């Protein structure tokens, strides 16, 4: 009687295509995902409380007339000069409010540059007046810088 030799079939899971599938998935995720920037300058507005009256001389008024064209308390200054001025004023009074007013035709990044500077110098109170507020304040004798929220 002839002895039959059994051919053993090894139990294997074919994984040769696994890498291809995985790389296809990577390519899919890379093409379809949109990376979002989740960082920025936070700006908190006060609650509906009575407005705090600030004397004109109490607030620092930064007027942005264009990129690199700044007026600090009605004097022309560069960004480093603003930093020095704010630093000096904040040493005298750390709670000094800052009003940042921008002209309508100025690019947005110029405002961000100043707001960034205020954040870096840890200014506690930064006010960005709306154009209607600027129009109202312009009617007062002291102009902008008279009242802030």
Contacts to another protein by CB under 8 A: 15-16, 18-19, 22-23, 25-26, 29-30, 33-45, 47-48, 64, 102-113, 115-116, 119-120, 128, 130-132
Query: CA nearest 117: which of 145, 85, 88, 79?
Result: 79
Question: Whole-number minimum distance, CB 112 to another protein, in Å?
Answer: 4
Question: CA 23 from chain center: how many Å?
Answer: 36
Question: CA 87 from chain center: how many Å?
Answer: 21
Query: CA nearest 107: which of 75, 68, 80, 146?
Result: 68
Question: Whole-number minimum distance, CB 57 to another protein, in Å?
Answer: 26
Instruction: Return the number of the residue (71 or 128) whose C-beta is nearest another protein.
Output: 128
Instruction: Return the number of the residue (21 or 76) whose C-beta is nearest another protein.
Output: 21
Instruction: Return the number of the residue (76 or 112) whose C-beta is nearest another protein.
Output: 112
Contact status, residue 48 vs residue 87, Cβ threshold 8 Å: no
Question: Whole-number minimum distance, CB 144 to another protein, in Å?
Answer: 14
């Amino acid at each position: 009687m002839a002895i039959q030799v059994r051919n053993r079939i090894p139990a294997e899971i074919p994984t040769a295509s696994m890498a291809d599938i995985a790389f296809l998935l990577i390519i899919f995720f890379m093409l379809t995902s949109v990376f979002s920037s989740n960082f920025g300058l936070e700006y908190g507005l006060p609650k509906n409380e009575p407005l705090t009256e600030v004397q004109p001389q109490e607030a620092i008024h930064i007027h942005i007339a264009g990129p690199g064209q700044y007026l600090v308390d009605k004097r022309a200054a560069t960004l480093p000069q603003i930093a020095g001025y704010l630093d000096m004023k904040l040493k005298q009074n750390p709670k000094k409010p800052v009003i940042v007013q921008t002209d309508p035709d100025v690019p947005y990044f110029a405002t961000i540059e100043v707001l960034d500077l205020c954040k870096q110098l840890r200014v506690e109170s930064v006010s960005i007046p709306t154009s209607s507020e600027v129009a109202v304040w312009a009617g007062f004798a002291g102009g902008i810088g008279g009242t802030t929220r």
